[in-house]
Amino acid sequence: MNTPPVRKIIHCDCDCFYAAVEMRDDPSLRGRPLAVGGRPDQRGVVATCNYEARKYGLRSAMAMSQAIQRCPGLIVLPPAMEKYRAASRQILAIYRDYTELVEPLSLDEAYLDVTESGHFKGSGTLIAQDIRARIAATVGITASAGVAPNKFLAKIASDWNKPDGQYVIRPQEVDEFVARLPVDKLFGVGKVTAAKLNRLGAHTCADLRAWSIVDLQRHFGKFGGRLYGLSRGIDGREVSPSQERKSVSVEETYVTDLRDIDACQRELTPLIGLLAQRVRRVDAERFIHKLYVKIRFDDFRRTTAECVASAIDEAQCRKLLETGFQRGNRPVRLLGVGVRLNEDEDLSQLGLFVDEAVVATEEKGEGDAEKLANDAGFSHDAQVT
């Protein structure tokens, strides 16, 4: 029986993509704090920001009004989606020069399986370097890359030397590399889950390895099995270029439970703003078929209220929230809002990864926090059942 080859997976991610395109087109913006997103007087949120802005603690999904308070000199630009899509098409064309196995996650981010690629004698390291050089020369922005035997590790590696960097995790380095990782580096482990793991004595993946899968599942349910594998660097998911997007959503797990419906309503507004940004980003407005609100109560029961809709409507979201809250009428630990896309339409036009999992704003990321939960199955609070 032949042993399958060790896979060579590259995760490519452009650095502060929207902001980078704006700075490319207007060099006077370079070196100045810049955010792309909604207007502060309309409850807008930061889509992304450059590294000068991040020095002030700015991040994706932050309310723009809060961003301006932290950085009074912040330059705010509205998203120019057509310009970003044009850059995205250039980037994806570059990716596909090296392999047909390209799984886009967003306009600027993708997994590539180059195991069978004939470029550079199959060197994942050299392929990633060449891709980054071509993006810089052709598109005029920088990209970072991670190279590893699986998607989980490639994603971690691409964040390691940002911006404009690259990191390689070779098969023989996986065990030692993962053992040292703090648990909050694992996909799906946000502030709430990390705090629980820390209280239980698990601070690194090496600590987690001392736990049996039964113990992990007892404390974390289905996600415990995922923790067991990730803490050992195991991820068997394939790079899947043909998957289609079925829904777009955002959610947040709260460190302190929301005590009543009024508290939930206050938290709903920024989530709706982030959802609208996300839907625009993937060009999904014309595919909206349903609107829904998801609630997980403090006893871990969850419910979803939905209705037919062709657009994001805040008033409808609030009615759905009231309907869902009445089903439990108790404190809420997780709140989410999303849209389902019309399956009768040609969703392949979106060209993006299936989004049955949600964008969990609990999770952290290098500037584009809303992208981190795109890998279905990696979000603890977004398990697909």
Token readout for 74 is 């912040």
Q: What is the mean pLDDT of residues 124-151?
A: 97
Please indicate, yes or no, if residue 213 is contained in any of the structural domains: yes
Please indicate, yes or no, if residue 53 is contained in any of the structural domains: yes
Which structural domain range is residue 74 located in?
1-169
Return the CATH number at 319. 3.30.1490.100
Please indicate, yes or no, if residue 237 is contained in any of the structural domains: no
Cα–Cα nearest to 74, from 90, 97, 58? 58
Please indicate, yes or no, if residue 239 is contained in any of the structural domains: no
Opening angle at CA 161, ends 175 and 159, nearest 5: 70
What pLDDT, in 10s, does the model give residues 229-275? 999 999 988 998 865 667 889 988 887 889 999 999 999 999 999 99
Same domain for 153 and 208: no
Do β-strands 302-308 and 34-37 pair in parallel, antiparallel, or remain unpaired?
Answer: unpaired
Same domain for 140 and 31: yes
Same domain for 204 and 259: no
Contact 361, 342 (CB under 8 A): no
pLDDT at 2: 55
Banded model confidence at residue 345, pLDDT cuts 50, 70, 90: very low
Q: What is the mean pLDDT of residues 309-329?
A: 94
Banded model confidence at residue 365, pLDDT cuts 50, 70, 90: very low
Same domain for 358 and 291: yes
Token readout for 385 is 């059942």
Secondary structure of residue 116 in the 3-state scheme: coil
pLDDT at 4: 64
Same domain for 150 and 23: yes
Least confident of 51-60, 144-153, 179-188, 240-249: 240-249
Q: What is the mean pLDDT of residues 278-294?
A: 88
Same domain for 179 and 95: no
Using the predicted structure, report yes or no on whether residue 366 has a pLDDT greater than 60: no
Please indicate, yes or no, if residue 241 is contained in any of the structural domains: no
Same domain for 279 and 143: no
Q: Is 159 part of any known ligand binding site? A: no
Please indicate, yes or no, if residue 44 is contained in any of the structural domains: yes
How distant, in Å, are the alpha carbons of 188, 192, 193, 222, 233 from that of 200?
A: 17, 13, 11, 18, 21
Query: What is the distance between the alpha carbons of residues 147 and 90, in angstroms, rounded to a whole number?
Result: 21
pLDDT at 277: 86
Question: In this structure, which amino acid lies at residue 26?
Answer: D
Using the predicted structure, report yes or no on whether residue 358 has a pLDDT greater than 70: no
Q: Which of 151, 169, 187 is the last residue of a domain?
A: 169
Least confident of 100-114, 256-270, 368-382: 368-382
Same domain for 149 and 53: yes
pTM exceeding the 0.75 threshold for the entire prediction: no
Looking at the structure of the chain, the number of domains it has is 3
Opening angle at CA 366, ends 203 and 126, nearest 5: 100
pLDDT at 244: 60
Query: What is the distance between the alpha carbons of residues 370 and 360, in angstroms, rounded to a whole number?
Result: 7
Same domain for 211 and 108: no
More confident residue, 2 or 258: 258
Q: What is the mean pLDDT of residues 69-86?
A: 93
Return the CATH number at 217. 1.10.150.20
Return the CATH number at 13. 3.30.70.270
**Active-site annotation, residues:** 109
Using the predicted structure, report yes or no on whether residue 352 has a pLDDT greater than 60: no
Contact 16, 107 (CB under 8 A): no
277 φ, ψ (degrees, to nearest 5)? -65, -45
Please indicate, yes or no, if residue 83 is contained in any of the structural domains: yes
Please indicate, yes or no, if residue 192 is contained in any of the structural domains: yes
Same domain for 153 and 49: yes
Q: What is the mean pLDDT of residues 111-129?
A: 95
pLDDT at 301: 85
Same domain for 29 and 1: yes
pLDDT at 190: 81
What pLDDT, in 10s, does the model give residues 288-305? 999 999 999 988 788 999
Using the predicted structure, report yes or no on whether residue 359 has a pLDDT greater than 50: no
Using the predicted structure, report yes or no on whether residue 1 has a pLDDT greater than 80: no
Q: Which of 204, 230, 256 is the last residue of a domain?
A: 230
Same domain for 251 and 125: no
Q: Is 113 part of any known ligand binding site? A: no
Q: Which of 117, 137, 169 is the last residue of a domain?
A: 169
Contact 10, 112 (CB under 8 A): yes
pLDDT at 39: 83
Residue bearing tokens 């490639």? 154
Using the predicted structure, report yes or no on whether residue 221 has a pLDDT greater than 90: no
